[in-house]
Chains A and B, each alone.
Chain A
Amino acid sequence: MPKLNRVNDFVVKFANVNGSGSASANTLFAKSILRMGVPVSPRNIFPSNIQGLPTWYEVRVSEQGWLGRRGGVDLMVAMNQQTWDVDVAEIEPGGFLFYDNTRPMPASKLRSDVTVLGMPLTAMCNERYKDARQRQVFKNIIYVGALSQLLGIEREVVVKLIGEQYKGKEKLLQPNLDSLDLGRAWAAEHLPANFALKVERRDKVGERIFVDGNAASALGALYGGASVAAWYPITPSSSLAEAFQKYCNKYRTNPDGTKRFAIIQAEDELASIGMVIGAAWNGARAFTATSGPGISLMQEFLGLAYFAEIPAVIFDVQRGGPSTGMPTRTQQADLLSCALASHGDTQHVLLLPEDPRECFEFGALSFDLADRLQTPVFVMLDLDIGMNERLCEPFAWDDKKTMDRGKLMTTEQLEAGRPFGRYRDVDGDGITTRTWPGTHPTRGSFFTRGTTKDRDAKYSETGPDYMENMTRLQRKFQTAANLLPAPVLRRAKQPTSAGVLYFGSTSPAMDEALALLAADGLHLDALRLRGFPFPASVPEFIAEHETVFLVEQNRDAQMKMLLVHECQIDPNHVTSVRHYDGTPITARFIVQAIRELCGSEALASNGRSAR
């Protein structure tokens, strides 16, 4: 079995024990490669646990810039005895295994097609440090040192990063640098100098930033003008609310300590969305962040916001469902529970960001859309985007931009005698005018209710009033389709009758899959969905292509259900490619699935090859 030999194109996976302090060391490793000008995409694969269970950190190094999860591991850093067997089994043939050989593993626990690199980490730490915690924490930095030496990562790059990390905590700086050098020196002496996997300096990162989608969404909310947030802790969305708190403390606190925001950790998700609805009814931009179980709890309130027409922004960082499901794994499985949230006939707006950059952009935009459309807007992240740092284009903001507060009647307009009817559609777009409480002493007040009402917000149970309201809400939803970010079309290099639809966190894997398939002669036009309801370009794309694949990360083809129904297309025209084991979808998976479908009769449409 020939050894792998790769420059700037490999996967390193760290197998650790949760709570051992490995996360910051592993991030240091990933960032140091970025600082070498080589793109990386790391992914945390972690348990629902604080201490003791296995956790992994997978770093894909890709000079070509592929940021999706690749699948397979070239270098396994096996620091967890509990998962040894599966970790060793995951290594690609010809790959490498790095481990703490203070207690050497017997040959039966190793693989003949894998090169073993042993380092007596525990022995080195025990010799160097007396304190148990220090032994643990510095062990991580020592292996980062050894790996940086092994892979050719420049010492200065790592030293600079450690300096940035411990800025203001100088006491911790030197011990960390010492550990780093301990690891590097040992590796220089004991590990091969011309190791098969190498990081070489490039200039492929450019201006891009490295950030997780939850933090990016929080910044979007900050820039979008959200002043009220209510949330209930739930993985994988908690860090979104916590990041918002952090940014607000920094950027929205007056010199006298008063705050231009209010954040409530609510008693449950029902209260979270209730507070958001109350705040937005009263004119503040408000949001909550949650995940699938929270969405389930919010259903009744979401129907109220839809029917009473109150803006609300919900960041749903999706995880594996149903029920408690896989709390620390990723899926795109809340599409239906969000798009159709609540009893009765309801429809909700979804935004589908592909990366942190779009989390920021759509996060800010969602508040304009919620105010403009006077309805809940869901920003559909997932754990893969939300909780992993991802290389993306820098955030951008136009200082000339103002908040679109939608059709809002002011004190002056009411005073001037502008007629006001809360649910009167005066211009045909389905959107009516609202007032905030307290606007005018005698004009513009109305009663907000979840019961049926007439166009002046008076209680009514008559069929015609109900029908007028419900058909207007449908009209409003059609208006929404053209206000959302448009789908992004990418034509194949050659004309083709095959196309693929995808969205959200599937994006980086799809970028790579399209290139791999094209190299193989299988050309696909690609349309990335960015919002629901769909604009006309979506059914047009489907109609244009004889064969259409729809890639999504859930079992039941939820996006296909929406598409088939909303666009009235033949279900047989769209072939689902579904990935739902909780891990982020890979290019390998997509390529294999599409290749198989193209060669089989399972293909939708006329059963013809997409070639």
Chain B
Amino acid sequence: MTWIARPKFHHASLAKNEQGCTRRDYEGAISTLCAGCGHDSISAAIVQAFYELSIAPHRVAKLSGIGCSSKTPTYFLGASHGFNSVHGRMPSVLTGANLANRELIYLGVSGDGDSASIGFGQFAHSIRRGVDMLYIVENNGVYGLTKGQRSATADEGSTLKKGEVNTDKPIDMVSMAIKLGASFVGRSFSGDKEQLIPLIKGALEHRGAAFLDVISPCVAFNNHAGSTKSYDWVREHNEAVNQLDVMVDHEEMVLEQAPGTVEEIASPDGTILRLRKLASDFDPTDKAGALDYLERHGAQGELVTGLLFVDRAPKDLHQHLGTVAAPLNSLDEGQLCPGSATLAAINASLR
């Protein structure tokens, strides 16, 4: 069984958000992943982010492919519709769902096997199209559910648990996403919720293709010395370029005293991304600069994390297509069917 109900009772004093929901209302079934799995921390961060943003759980559609990461939507947002589709094909299913109803929030959860190998094409094309979604890759460099085969994000020279050295080049998902036109791209670490939760919130508030690569160690198959996706390795090599704070328009701006310069990026819908710079030479609104930075620092063995790219004026697929404001699934016969008089005219044109 990978589905265990979570008890619903909670402490009476648990704080409620504007939806009247407690954090518990954003939880799902109890995880059946391995104890210590990075994915569970990401699920917890997702729960916290949705709670803090006061998003009605049922207005979210959560979709995934196949693999350990793709199992996680069962473990959060239990009141949302979920769709565990086929391996590597979450992006197309999510794209279709998004076309049918532009009013919901779409969360796509995938893994490095699901998105960098079998689903690399669908990953690329959903990003290219600007589907309004948060696409999270829970990246552990290994196939967990089939017991430890290497994935396409495993670094060159890193070793599998039994010592086999990887000689293939790694696919860097964030560079790919930036290059392919994602309008909000970040990388984080499952063990750093301070960094991860604001990135999830920023991505959810973003109207366009938002992509997060979250390094999420696999305790069973890829947490050994020689791995570059282990807890120890990531902690040692994590170089955050900035620290994000997300303020939705109605929130009071609480300015904390923090080191480094602070930059604010306002989005068209009023959300403000407040960025505390940690790397002085990094500008997340400069696409070419960001790619260059990732390439140079990656080559030095650094794992660059933070908000890596944001487009100040994003556009999403519905804007590209010019679809009506009403969800397509709400249109009735009168709006969809041209009727018999028009058909008579069509018939006449075919004689």
Contact = CB atoms under 8 A, between A and B. Distances in A.
Given A227-B100, A282-B97, 19 more contacts: A210-B351, A222-B338, A223-B338, A228-B328, A251-B342, A262-B323, A267-B121, A271-B122, A275-B92, A278-B83, A284-B99, A399-B340, A401-B333, A438-B58, A439-B58, A446-B82, A447-B83, A447-B84, A448-B81
Interface of A: 34, 205, 207-211, 219, 222-228, 230, 251-252, 254, 257-264, 266-268, 270-286, 300-301, 304, 394-399, 401-403, 435-442, 445-451, 458-461
Contact of A258 (B2, B122, B324, B336): B324
B259 interface: no
Contacts of A396: 340, 343
Given A225-B333, A278-B93, A451-B84, A442 B79 contact: yes
A285 B61 CA distance: 18
Contacts of A223: 337-338, 343
A461 B340 CA distance: 50
B321 A262 contact: yes
Nearest to B104: A438
B300 interface: no
Nearest to B32: A459
B2 A459 contact: yes
Contacts of B342: 251
For B89, B92, B96, B325, which residue has the most chain A Cβ atoms within 10 angstroms?
Answer: B96
Contacts of B332: 403
A528 to B, nearest CB: 24
B121 A275 contact: no
5 contacts: A222-B337, A267-B121, A279-B99, A395-B343, A402-B333
A399 B338 CA distance: 9
B322 A397 contact: no
Contact of A301 (B1, B73, B89): B89
Given A264-B129, A395-B346, A459-B2, A283 B323 contact: no
Contacts of A273: 92
Contacts of A270: 89, 92, 122
B329 interface: yes
A446 B220 CA distance: 30
B97 A278 contact: yes
A281 B97 contact: yes
B320 to A, nearest CB: 10
B305 interface: no
Contact of A397 (B1, B327, B339): B339
B85 interface: yes
Contacts of A300: 86, 89
A262 B85 CA distance: 22
A323 B124 CA distance: 27
Given A279-B96, A441-B57, A260 B347 contact: no
Nearest to B336: A225
Contacts of A285: 336
Contacts of A211: 350
Contacts of B322: 257-259
Q: Which 10 A-B pairs have the closest CB atoms?
A: A278-B96, A274-B92, A283-B329, A284-B100, A275-B96, A437-B81, A279-B96, A278-B93, A282-B100, A209-B350
B204 to A, nearest CB: 16
Interface in B59-110: 59, 61, 63, 73-74, 78-86, 89, 91-101, 103-104
Given A271-B125, A282-B61, A441-B56, A258 B343 contact: no
B125 A267 contact: yes
B329 A436 contact: yes
A276 B100 CA distance: 10
B122 A274 contact: yes
B331 A264 contact: no
Contacts of B104: 282, 437-438
B125 A398 contact: no
Contacts of B338: 222-223, 251-252
B324 to A, nearest CB: 4
Contacts of B78: 445
A443 to B, nearest CB: 9
Nearest to B3: A459
Interface string B236-260: 0000000000000000000000000
B13 interface: no
Nearest to A205: B351
